[in-house]
């Protein structure tokens, strides 16, 4: 028995062809067995080989493509939506501005002396309403010249300070009614043989004069009356004093050189812009005129 070895049944066969669970084999017969058939080894035919399953790359590519395409569609739709929302809220800037009330102070009531909401112009002059009679205050001893109360007080203070500085500011014209303006425009035009365009360069048509508002005043130099309502007034001490000091009393030159209205230079014509109503009266009129020129009907 020392020269025998037991082998598994898978490596031994009975002489009759029946498989045995184990058999005794002489040692010398071991040379007939392969080295890899020893009991410690697993026959190659019985090894379980795991082959990796191929990944479905084509299917993954389709999924990736569809995902990217969907994201692109969503991004495009979002961008279009952002562009459309402002247009829905405000289709045109002009429409939005036209929806706003002309009176920025609220409500539909116009302030006395305010410009026409349509900002209509005639021969380069803006439209203005007449000041109420009870809002006027005299600035001369005889009461012939009047301004709105706030403007009158400031002018009288300015006149007194100028007098203290040796300059005599003389009021030549202040508030004018429509009737007064009709005379100045039509009667003087006829007397001078002027056409409407020529007359409008130095005098506004009725309903379009700043003097209607009770805030405008024509000023002369008491020391040089010959310069009254003349371009030469710009060379007087009164004009120089006004240029340096009028703003302290809330007066400004209405028609400087090269003014946008195209009205002739009038160094004697000044207007008060020292309270809310006066400021809105003149500056709203100019803004409406500019808007009408930019967006003609």
Q: Compute how many other C-beta atoms are within 10 angstroms of the C-beta atom of residue 173.
A: 19
pLDDT for position 20: 42
Residue 291 confidence class, pLDDT cut points 50, 70, 90: low
Sign of CA dihedral 26, 30, 32, 33: positive
Q: Compute how many other C-beta atoms are within 10 angstroms of the C-beta atom of residue 60.
A: 10
Q: Assess whether pLDDT exceeds 60 at residue 53.
A: no
pLDDT for position 45: 44
Sign of CA dihedral 169, 175, 180, 182: positive
Distances (CA, A) of 261 to 71, 161, 207, 287: 57, 32, 16, 12
Q: Which of 217, 216, 215, 220 is nearest to 169 (CA)?
A: 220
Q: Assess whether pLDDT exceeds 50 at residue 164.
A: yes
- The whole-number average pLDDT for the span 260-276 is 92
Domain ranges of the chain: 4-46, 115-294
Where does 115-294 sit in CATH, by number? Answer: 3.30.1380.10
pTM above 0.85, yes or no: no
Structure confidence by residue, pLDDT tens digits, 224-247? 999 999 999 999 999 999 999 999
- The whole-number average pLDDT for the span 7-27 is 47
Q: Write the DSSP assignment of 139-185 as a string of letters.
A: -STTS-SEEEHHHHHHHHHHHHHHHHTT--EEEEE----HHHHHIII
pLDDT for position 103: 36
> What backbone torsions phi and psi does residue 206 show, to the nearest 5 degrees?
-55, 135
Which stretches does DSSP call E strand in the chain?
A: 4-8, 22-26, 121-122, 125-126, 136-138, 146-148, 169-173, 216-221, 251-255, 266-272
- The whole-number average pLDDT for the span 70-75 is 69
Q: Which of 131, 171, 157, 149 is nearest to 269 (CA)?
A: 171
pLDDT for position 91: 43
pLDDT for position 82: 56
Q: Are 13 and 19 in contact (CB under 8 A)?
A: yes
Instruction: Tell me what the pLDDT averaged over the chain comes to.
Output: 75
Between CA 85 and CA 92, with CA 89 as vertex, the angle to 5 degrees is 105
pLDDT for position 23: 47
pLDDT for position 265: 93
Residue 130 appears among annotated catalytic residues: no
pLDDT for position 260: 80
Q: Which of 260, 149, 262 is nearest to 215 (CA)?
A: 149
pLDDT for position 259: 85
Catalytic residue from among 130, 210, 266, 280: 266
- What's the first-to-final CA gap in the chain, in angstroms? 127
Structure confidence by residue, pLDDT tens digits, 129-146? 999 999 999 999 999 999
Q: Which has more confidence, 163 or 72?
A: 163
pLDDT for position 262: 77
pLDDT for position 283: 87
């Amino acid at each position: 028995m020392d020269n025998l070895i037991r082998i598994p049944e898978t490596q031994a066969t009975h002489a009759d062809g029946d498989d045995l669970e184990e058999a005794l084999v002489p040692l010398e017969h071991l040379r007939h067995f392969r080295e890899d058939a020893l009991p410690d080894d697993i026959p190659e035919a019985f090894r379980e080989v795991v082959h990796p399953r191929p990944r479905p790359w084509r299917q993954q590519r389709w999924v990736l493509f569809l995902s990217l395409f969907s994201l692109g569609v969503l991004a495009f739709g979002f961008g279009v939506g952002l562009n459309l929302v402002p247009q829905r809220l405000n289709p045109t800037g002009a429409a939005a501005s036209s929806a706003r009330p002309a009176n920025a102070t609220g409500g539909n009531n116009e302030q006395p002396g305010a410009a026409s909401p349509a900002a209509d112009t005639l021969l380069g002059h803006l439209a203005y309403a007449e000041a109420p009679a009870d809002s006027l205050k005299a600035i001369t001893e005889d009461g012939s010249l009047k301004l709105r109360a706030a403007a009158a007080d400031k002018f009288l203070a300015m006149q007194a300070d100028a007098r203290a500085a040796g300059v005599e500011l003389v009021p030549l014209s202040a508030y004018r009614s429509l009737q007064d303006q009709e005379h100045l425009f039509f009667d003087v035009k006829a007397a001078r043989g002027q056409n409407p365009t020529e007359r409008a360069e130095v005098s506004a048509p009725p309903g379009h004069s700043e003097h209607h508002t009770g805030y405008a005043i024509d000023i002369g130099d008491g020391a040089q009356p010959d310069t009254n309502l003349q371009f030469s007034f710009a060379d007087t001490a009164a004009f120089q004093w006004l240029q340096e000091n009028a703003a302290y009393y809330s007066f400004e030159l209405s028609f400087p050189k090269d003014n946008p209205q195209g009205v002739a230079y009038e160094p004697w014509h000044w207007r008060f812009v020292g309270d809310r109503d006066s400021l809105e009266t003149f500056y709203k009129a100019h803004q409406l005129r500019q808007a009408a020129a930019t967006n003609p009907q």
